[in-house]
Chains A and B, each alone.
Chain A
């Protein structure tokens, strides 16, 4: 699976959690989930759990701490698949 394919699926997963949909339309690897997309920090764990289900991977508690941008999500998933 390429990074681009992972990113597309990550963006799709993020869609229901995003408050700034305009920012999502132009999202790239450096787009910050909390600051740019306005994802509620309390829902971040739901996003990561959705990654687990979508990619059939297991993500440790500590790994969530490194998830700030879409690029971070892609890198984390690439490590696990």
Chain B
């Protein structure tokens, strides 16, 4: 992988600075909208366990952390960010608030969505676009992780059409990020609303979410593309285990 160009690195750091400057406004506002606007809540015990694990990881020496989650709705990133960290933690340790790589078409339609994406630490990507363009986004994510930031990606590449983790759908780009960062730890996050039978645009109003996390440090004896794919599959396999545990406990 290559480092982003100087201009791109500066643009990312400016975005980070502006987002951080305004974070005392938008972080509590976002939490309030999720909690009181949508009426969403996360199982308290599971949320406390997830937050404790994430806080523990962030307190360890600065090896990169990539967050990988299952993907069922367009607002998963918000709910996951809200579910695994306290507002006060994010305000104190802004790097803990993960960067996201949303699909460009969801945010390019009007100016206020673009502003929100900018503030919410997003690096948009056009899925299925030119490989070099996708690689640039992966390079940016790797650059941010190496600087102590975290990022949230969905290793299935998109919202699961079956509503369940598809291990064979592992997007190798995730593995490519991990293999390029020695010691990179992956926080696997499984999040699901009780009423979420399959994929959708939004979770239902008043949804109660369950969250579980597991930290892994995937490694592969293989090389090149095969190593990246192997790592991506280890991550989706761990997510599938978390999913199985969720359904076993229902």
A interface residues, Cβ below 8 angstroms from B: 34, 40-42, 44-45, 48-49, 52, 58-62, 64-68
Contact = CB atoms under 8 A, between A and B. Distances in A.
Nearest to B170: A42
Contact of A60 (B128, B131, B169, B224): B224
Chain B interface SS verdict (over half):
helix
B169 A58 contact: no
A33 to B, nearest CB: 9
Contacts of B130: 68
A61 B224 contact: yes
A58 B179 CA distance: 17
Given A45-B225, A49-B225, A52-B225, A64 B171 contact: no
B135 A48 contact: no
B169 A42 contact: yes
Contact of B225 (A41, A42, A48, A66): A48
Contacts of B128: 34, 40-41
A64 B225 contact: yes
Interface residues of B, number: 22
B65 to A, nearest CB: 21
Contact of B229 (A34, A49, A58): A49
B35 interface: no
B135 A62 contact: yes
B172 A45 contact: yes
B132 A66 contact: yes
